[in-house]
Amino acid sequence: MALKRILTQDKNIQLVQDNIEEALIPLQSSPMANGVLIKGVTLVALQDNLIRHTLGRFPQIFFIGNLDSNATVWNPTSASINNQKSNSSVINLRCSSACTIALWVN
């Protein structure tokens, strides 16, 4: 995302734009900026739940938010998911009881 610059002769506005751009560059290049938010993910208890994401690569980390019930959610370490090899388009989650979550995958 590029900062739209206002073309002006005013040196103060140019300086402010330079400072804003300098502050945004580290945020845009942060590894966390390349994730996806998936809302309203319904998980079924004690089974593999395959959640599709659009990263186009294996996820490095995920964060769970908006958990709507008292449940533990985890990523099983099995090499296969429902007899299907893990791939770069899904993340597998299991939970101790049925719940709905929001998921940030990066």
pLDDT in tens, 74-104: 988 765 666 555 567 888 899 999 999 999 9
- Are the C-beta atoms of 1 and 28 separated by less than 8 Å? yes
- Are the C-beta atoms of 58 and 34 separated by less than 8 Å? no
Structural domains counted in the chain: 1
Domain that holds residue 85: 34-105
Kindly report the pTM of this predicted structure. Answer: 0.70
Residue 8: inside a domain: no
Residue 42: inside a domain: yes
- Are the C-beta atoms of 49 and 82 separated by less than 8 Å? no
**Angle, CA 52 vertex, CA 51 and CA 55 arms, to 5°:** 125
Residue 3: inside a domain: no
Radius of gyration of the chain (CA): 20
Residue 75: inside a domain: yes
Question: What integer pLDDT is reported at residue 86 of this predicted model?
Answer: 56
Residue 78: inside a domain: yes
Facing residues of 101 across strands?
41
Scan for tokens 């989650």, then name that residue. Answer: 93
Residue 26: inside a domain: no
Residue 80: inside a domain: yes
Question: What integer pLDDT is reported at residue 73 of this predicted model?
Answer: 95
Distance CA 23, CA 18 (A): 9
Q: In one letter, which amino acid is 35? A: G
